[in-house]
Amino acid sequence: MDAAWHPVALSGDIEPATSAGFKLFGQELVVWRDDKGTAHVWEDRCPHRGMRLSFGFVRGNHLACLYHGWQYDRSGQCRHIPAHPDLEVPPTITVPVYKAREWAGIIWTSLDHDAAPGEEIAGIPAVAVRSVYLDKPVATAIAALVANGLDDGDAVRQLGQNLCLVKSATSQLLAAFQPVSETRTGMHVVALDVAPDKPLKDLARIVEAFRDSLSGEVRVG
Ligand code: FES
C-alpha cells in the first residue's frame, strides 16, 4: 500500500457542496466538499449498483448518489434510502473512505488508511494557478520540470517525492504531482509569491506551455 500523500485537486476547484472524480494509480476516487467546507476523498463507487458518486449531489453533510438517491454521511455510512425512508440502514452499507487534508491550497489524500497525517506547514499562503494533466509517468514529468523549469531561467528544487519548488525572478510556485496512472500525471500548481505585475493568468499560460512541451504539441495562439 502506498503510504505517501498525493495531490488530487486545487482546493479552489472543489467548491463547497460540489464533487469531482479523479484517479490515483488508476483507482477511481471522488473528492467532495461538505457544507462545512471540509474536503473528503472516497472510492468513486456507490455500494448499491456501482454508480459513480462523483456524478451525485452534495446534500449538506451527505453525498447523494445520482441513480437511486442513497445518501452517505461524512464517514461513508449510508443514512438514507429514498425508496425505503423508514428503513434503519444496515451499518454494513458503507463507502470506502480515504484520509484527506488540505495544504498549500491543494487537496491531498493517501491510499493507506493508516497514513500519518504528514507534516503541516500552518498558514502557508498559496494562490491557485492551474492544474494540468500530462501524458507522461510521474517520474518523467518531475524530471522534466527539474531539468527545464516551467520557463527559461527557473530554478527548481524537489522538496519531496511529489513536490517541487519553482523559483523565477517574478514568482515562487509549488508544483505537486498526482500519479493518475502509470502513464498519466496531474500537475497542480499554486503560487506562494508573485510579483504584482505578474498576473496569475500569465503563470497559468506558462504551466500550459510546459504541458504542451511535454506532449510534443505545438502551441497555437
Ligand atoms: S446505484 Fe447508487 S443509489 Fe443505486
Among 195, 183, 185, smallest CA distance to 164 is for 185
List the domains of the chain with CATH numbers: 6-110 (2.102.10.10), 127-215 (3.30.310.80)
pLDDT digit string (tens) for 70-121? 999 999 999 999 999 999 999 999 999 999 999 889 999 998 876 665 555 5
**Distance between CA atoms of residues 139 and 182, nearest Å:** 10
Cβ-in-10-Å burial (0-12, 13-18, 19+) of 200 comes to middle
Please tell me the residue having the least CA distance from ligand 1 atom 1.
49
Query: Contact at 8 Å (CB) between 13 and 129?
Result: no
Identify the DSSP state of 53: G
pLDDT tens series, the chain, 221 aa: 466 899 999 999 999 999 999 999 999 999 999 999 999 999 999 999 999 999 999 999 999 999 999 999 999 999 999 999 999 999 999 999 999 999 889 999 998 876 665 555 555 678 999 999 999 999 999 999 999 999 999 999 999 889 999 999 889 999 999 999 999 999 999 999 877 777 889 999 999 999 999 986 444 43
Residues with CB under 6 A from ligand 1: 46, 48-49, 51, 65, 67-68, 70
Candidate from 48, 53, 54 with most ligand 1 atoms within 8 A of CB, to mutate = 48
Length of the chain, in residues: 221
Q: How far is the CA of 27 from the centre of ligand 1 (A)?
A: 19
Which atom of ligand 1 is nearest to 70's Cα?
3
Q: Which three cell numbers stand for residue 70?
A: 442513497
**CA-based torsion, 45, 46, 51, 55: positive or negative:** negative
Q: Which amino acid is at 109?
A: T
Q: How many CB atoms lie within 10 A of CB 121?
A: 7
Which atom of ligand 1 is nearest to 69's Cα?
3
